[in-house]
Structure formats: C-alpha cells, structure tokens
Structure 1
Amino acid sequence: MTRTAQPLSISDLSDFARALHRQLPAPQPSHLSLLNMLARAAGFQNLQHLQAQTKPAPADSKRVEAALRYFDARGRMIKWPSKTNLQHLCLWALSAHLPQGPVNEREISALLDQWHLFGDAAILRRTLVELGLVSRSEDGADYTRRTPTPPPEATALIAALAAR
C-alpha cells in the first residue's frame, strides 16, 4: 500500500514543540532536545542547521511605505501614528538614533526632540520602554538603548530613511 505525503506547515516550531512535549509520557526530553529531534526529523542536522537554512521573511513594503509617510525629508517623525503597529515600526527608526550608553531622562528627551516634530517625548520614551527598545533603571533616572534584532520592516524603514 502506497502512502500519501501529508504536508505540514508549522508557523512556530517552539510552540509546536511545547504542545508535543505536553503530550509525551514521562520521562520527557527537554525543550531544546525536542526541537533538535524535530529538526532532524525534517532532514536537518540539528536546530541550528534548520535556523541557518531558513530565510527571513521579506519586509512588508506596504507597511514600510505607510510608516515612511510619518517622516519628513530629514528623517524626523512628523506626527504620532494612530495605528499601534505603525507606532511600533516608527519607533524602531527613532531608536536607531539613540546612543548605546546610559542617558538621563532630560538627555533622552532632548535626543528624541531632535527626531520628532510633534513635541511629545514622554509618549516616545514610554513606548520605547514598553517595546524593549530602551531599558529604564529601577529608579527611572537612566535610559539605555537595547539592541534586539529588528523585524524586516524595521530594517527596511531604517534603510529607506538613511537613503533620504
């Protein structure tokens, strides 16, 4: 009897591994061991090999174009977007202008004022912290830029603004 190939598309391998982990009887392999087993079952040497072969998703050009409308020719943010996903995308571009070292609240506000025209550095600071693009000290006195890997749209937006 021939077997029919059943394609399986998994959007998040880690979530898939967690769900599988909950269904396995004891003793269960660790999360990383299970991820490596799944990668080997798909024909890869291990999880790192799978990740190296996986190409990042292309940037959503419509979203990047929509975000670009919120910046002037000098790369300054003209107004605060009403849509949250555009706010977050625009803040990736603003965070690229911040220094790596710690700065106090007055300094970060002055830096942000150079890169936006609507006069609300407080909303920018708060949202940068919420997104994890900037960390704030326990006493709230110092801010430090963090460098998480930007999504493809943020990379494309930063490049488009730099080209202006």
Structure 2
Amino acid sequence: MSSALYPAFRLPNVEFLRKQAKDRRKLLLAGDPETLDWYRRAGSADAAPSLQKVQHLIAVDCGFQSWSELLRHTAPVIWPPELHSFVGADGRLKAWPVKRSRQLMFLELVAGRIKPGMVYTESRFNAILNCYHSFNDPALLRRDLLELGLIARNADGSDYRRH
C-alpha cells in the first residue's frame, strides 16, 4: 500500500469518506500546499482535479483499487443475530467466535462481499479483510477462506481472488 491515509484496520465510514473527498478537492482547488503535495505524490498533476479523481486517490491510499471497491467494503454490514455479540461499536467483528458454525457465517458473509474474478495482492486482500474484523488477524481469515474454497490464490501466495 501507499502511504496510507488510514490504517486498514481503522477505515472510517462511507459518509466520512465522501465528505473527505469533497473537502480534499476544495483544498486542492484552493492551492493548499499539504494537499497539493499529497496529490502530486500520488502521481497526479491535473490543474482542476475532478471529485472522481480525488475519490480514486483516497481509495488507493486506503489499499483499494477503486472508489467503488472501497465503498463496498466500508458499507455497513447486516450481521446475522448469532454474531451480534461479537460485533464491536465500529461495526466489525471484535473477536473470533469459538463455535465453528459462527466462524462459517462470518467467512461466508465476507466472501460474499468480495467481487468475483477480481485479483488482489496479499496487502489489498488484507485491507479488505480488515474492514470486517478488528482483532487484526487477516492471516487466520485468509487460511480459513482458502481451506473452505471460498477464495483461491496463486501457488506462490501472491494473488487472491474469489471464484
């Protein structure tokens, strides 16, 4: 990932991200030095950046390939009632359930939100997984998703994808 705007495990909600994109664009248009530096470091030099361009750069800073992908993974999750006691105030799973049936509910829910056919590097895949849990163990989740056949990866472990 690039110099991340947010640690992957502390992504803000959708409304905050939308407001921030608008605010950053305003700062760019006003010539704010710090915001211009961020924009140039991202490889952009447009004189009048569009809101879509700023949104894309924020998504990349957060470890995603596009704004729509970022929104998909920061949108509120409707958790099954069996998992409610495991969900923290931030809307993410705060502890790994002991019961395998509850683990499977969680893994199937997460796998269902991953776009089929899209290829992710390990760091981007971790960023996605971290949107759904706060106990900071994406490796545990990757292993389970792989063992269940919910995702696939290259033999060298470099790329992940949902079938």
Task: Give the shorter-chain TM-score range.
Answer: 0.3 to 0.5
- TM-score when normalising by structure 1: 0.46
